[in-house]
C-alpha cells in the first residue's frame, strides 16, 4: 500500500524498538497479517538473540538494522532503502524511576529521538505512524474507566516525554493533514508469546509486577513485596488493567489498517477494560504455575495510583479490536516463558 504523496514509499512497516518486549510481539503479529517489516533497534534494552527467536516463530529472518532513531540521516536511509510506508514506533526508554534520576536522557531519547524520526519520515514522505503511548499520560484524579478524552497530566519525566510526543504529533497532523497518526495508550501489557521464544526480559530487579512474580515463582527471588494494602480498593491493593502483549501487538495491526483508510490523529486505549488487584493476579499466577508465591504487604510505592483501567469502546469502534486473552492465559504464557528462559535472553 503506497503512502507517500510522491509515490516513493512502499508497503514495508518500520518497527522501531522491534527487538524489545512489545515490539517483538508486534513483529509476530505483522508476520501473521502477511505484512513486510524491517526492525531498527540500538540494543539499548534488548538482545540480538530476539532475531533468532523471531525467525523460529515466523519461519524467516526479519530484516534488522542496528541503529539509533536519533540518527536522522540513518533513519531516512532505512525508510528509503526498505521502501517503508508506515512506522510502528516502540523505541524509547521506559523506567519511571530512572526517568526521575535522568530526565535529560529521557527527553533526549523519547522526545528528541522521536523528533529526528519524524523529520526523516517527512523527508521521505512517509506519513503513517503508530506511537507507543501509555496510560501514564492521564491525570491521576480521573474517574474510572479512563476514556481517551479524560484529563491529561503526567507526574514524572517518563510520562511527560510520552505526553510531549502526543502533543507534537497532534500539532504535526493539524499542520499537515495528510499524516495518519495513532497514539496507542497501553495499560499494563503482560504475558509472552505461547511458544515461550519471546517475552519480557528485564535487566536487574524487575520494576513491574508480573515479571517480579515470575521470578519469585521460578525461585530467583524470595518473595513479592506488595506495595500498599490500604488503598480504597476491594482488597486494599493496587488495581490495574493487565492486557496480554499479543493482544496489544494485534491492536497495532488493527490500528495500521485504520490509518490506511483514515488520515488524522487519534489516541486510543489498549486495555481489557477490567481492573485486577495485585492479590488477584498473584492468585491467578499461583493457579497457572502450581507454585505458591510468598508475599508481604509493605509501604505504598511513591507515585503509584490506587487504580487504573481503560474504557475500551474507541478501540472497538475504530479498529474493530478488543483484547481476547484472559488473565489465566496472561499468567500461563508468562510462566511458560519464565520457565523456559529463567535468565531471560541471558
Ligand atoms: P523495551 O525496552 O523492551 O523495548 C524498547 C526497545 O527500543 C528496546 O529494544 C531498546 O533497545 C530500543 N531502543 C531504545 N531506545 C532506542 C533508540 N534511541 N534507538 C533505537 N532503539 C532504541 O520496552 P517495551 O516494554 O517493549 O516498550 C515499548 C514502548 O512501549 C516504549 O516506548 C514504552 O515506553 C511503551 N510502553 C510500554 C509499556 C509497558 O508496560 N511495557 C506501557 C506503556 C507504554
Ligand atoms: N506492584 C507491587 N509489587 C511490585 C511491583 C508492582 O505490589 O513488586 C504493584 C504496584 O504497586 C501496582 C501494580 O503492582 O499496584 C502494577 O505495578 P507495575 O509496576 O507493574 O505497573 P504500573 O501500573 O505501576 O506501571 C506501568 C508501567 C509504567 C507506566 C504505568 C502507567 O510500568 O511505565 O504503567 O501506564 F507509566
pLDDT for the residue numbered 5:
34
pLDDT for the residue numbered 10:
82
pLDDT for the residue numbered 346:
82
**Mutate which of 92, 225, 227 for ligand 2 pocket (most atoms within 8 A of beta carbon):** 227
Cβ burial, residue 163 (10 Å; 0-12/13-18/19+): buried
Tell me the ligand closest to 106's alpha carbon: 1
Mean pLDDT, the chain, whole residue set: 96
Q: What is the pLDDT of residues 63-74, one digit of tens each?
A: 999 999 999 999
Tell me the ligand closest to 19's alpha carbon: 1
Nearest atom, ligand 2, residue 187 CA: 35
- Which three three-digit cell numbers place residue 58? 515466523
CA nearest ligand 1 atom 43, residue: 134
User: Domain segments of the chain: what residues?
Assistant: 12-194+242-273+309-323
| Claim: this prediction has a pTM higher than 0.95 | yes
Q: What is the pLDDT of residues 136-159, one digit of tens each?
A: 999 999 999 999 999 999 999 999
Q: Considering the chain, what percentage of its residues have pLDDT values greater than 90?
A: 97
Model confidence at 42: pLDDT above 70: yes
Contact 270 CB / ligand 2 (< 6 Å): no
Model confidence at 2: pLDDT above 60: no
- The CA 19 to ligand 1 mean position distance, Å, reads 9
Residues with CB under 6 A from ligand 1: 16-17, 19-23, 40-46, 68-70, 90-92, 94, 109, 113, 132, 134, 186, 188-189
Contact 243 CB / ligand 2 (< 6 Å): no
Q: Provide the pLDDT confidence category of residue 8 given band limits of 50, 70 and 90.
A: very low
Model confidence at 50: pLDDT above 90: yes
Contact 98 CB / ligand 2 (< 6 Å): no
3 state DSSP class of 32: helix
pLDDT for the residue numbered 210:
98
Average pLDDT over residues 305-310: 97
- The CA 41 to ligand 1 mean position distance, Å, reads 10
Q: What is the pLDDT of residues 119-130, one digit of tens each?
A: 999 999 999 999
Tell me the ligand closest to 65's alpha carbon: 1
Compute and round to an integer the Cα radius of gyration of the chain: 19
Q: Provide the pLDDT confidence category of residue 3 given band limits of 50, 70 and 90.
A: very low
Q: What is the pLDDT of residues 182-214, one digit of tens each?
A: 999 999 999 999 999 999 999 999 999 999 999
| H runs (alpha helix) in 67-151 | 72-81, 96-101, 103-106, 113-123
- Which three three-digit cell numbers place residue 31? 508476520
- The CA 101 to ligand 2 mean position distance, Å, reads 18
CATH topology of domain 12-194+242-273+309-323: Rossmann fold (3.40.50)
Contact 96 CB / ligand 2 (< 6 Å): yes
- The CA 17 to ligand 1 mean position distance, Å, reads 6
Contact 209 CB / ligand 2 (< 6 Å): yes
Cβ burial, residue 247 (10 Å; 0-12/13-18/19+): buried
- The CA 53 to ligand 2 mean position distance, Å, reads 27
Catalytic residues: 158
Please tell me the distance from the alpha carbon of residue 296 to that of residue 224, in angstroms, as a whole number: 6
Tell me the backbone φ, ψ of residue 123, rounded to 5 degrees. -60, -30
pLDDT for the residue numbered 1:
35
pLDDT for the residue numbered 9:
58
Lookup result for grid cell 497532534? 170
Contact 226 CB / ligand 2 (< 6 Å): yes
10's CB contacts (< 8 A; 6+ apart) are: 2, 82, 83, 84, 85
Amino acid at each position: 500500500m503506497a503512502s507517500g504523496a510522491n509515490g516513493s514509499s512502499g508497503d514495508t512497516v518500520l518497527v522501531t524498538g522491534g527487538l524489545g518486549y512489545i515490539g517483538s510481539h508486534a513483529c509476530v503479529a505483522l508476520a501473521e497479517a502477511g505484512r513486510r517489516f524491517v526492525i531498527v533497534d540500538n540494543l539499548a534494552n534488548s538482545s540480538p538473540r530476539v532475531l533468532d527467536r523471531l525467525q523460529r516463530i515466523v519461519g524467516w529472518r526479519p530484516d534488522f538494522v542496528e541503529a539509533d532513531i536519533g540518527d536522522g540521516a540513518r533513519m531516512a536511509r532505512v525508510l528509503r532503502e526498505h521502501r517503508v510506508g508506515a512506522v510502528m514506533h516502540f523505541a524509547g526508554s521506559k523506567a519511571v524511576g530512572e526517568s526521575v534520576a535522568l530526565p535529560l536522557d529521557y527527553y533526549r531519547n523519547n522526545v528528541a529521538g522521536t523528533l529526528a524520526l519524524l523529520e526523516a519520515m517527512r523527508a521521505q514522505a512517509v506519513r503513517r505512524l503508530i506511537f507507543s503511548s501509555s496510560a501514564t499520560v492521564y491525570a491521576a484524579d480521573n474517574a474510572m474507566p479512563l476514556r481517551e478524552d479524560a484529563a491529561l497530566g503526567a507526574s514524572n519525566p517518563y510520562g511527560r516525554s510520552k505526553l510531549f510526543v502526543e502533543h507534537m504529533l497532534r500539532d504535526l497532523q493539524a499542520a499537515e493533514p495528510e499524516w495518519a497518526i495513532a497514539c496507542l495508550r497501553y495499560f499494563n501489557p503482560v504475558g509472552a508469546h505461547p511458544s515461550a521464544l519471546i517475552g519480557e526480559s528485564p535487566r536487574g530487579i524487575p520494576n513491574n509486577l508480573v515479571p517480579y512474580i515470575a521470578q519469585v515463582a521460578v525461585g530467583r527471588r524470595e518473595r513479592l513485596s506488595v506495595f500498599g494494602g490500604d488503598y480504597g480498593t476491594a482488597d486494599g491493593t493496587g488495581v490495574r488493567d493487565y492486557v496480554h502483549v499479543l493482544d496489544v501487538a494485534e491492536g497495532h495491526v488493527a490500528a495500521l489498517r485504520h490509518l490506511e483508510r483514515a488520515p488524522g490523529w487519534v489516541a486510543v486505549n489498549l486495555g481489557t477494560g477490567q481492573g485486577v488487584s495485585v492479590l488477584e493476579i498473584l492468585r491467578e499466577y499461583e493457579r497457572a504455575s502450581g507454585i505458591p508465591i510468598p508475599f508481604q504487604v509493605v509501604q505504598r510505592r511513591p507515585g503509584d495510583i490506587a487504580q487504573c483501567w481503560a474504557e475500551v469502546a474507541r478501540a472497538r469502534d475504530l479498529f474493530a479490536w478488543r483484547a481476547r486473552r484472559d488473565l489465566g492465559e496472561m499468567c500461563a504464557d508468562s510462566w511458560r516463558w519464565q520457565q523456559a528462559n529463567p535468565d531471560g535472553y541471558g
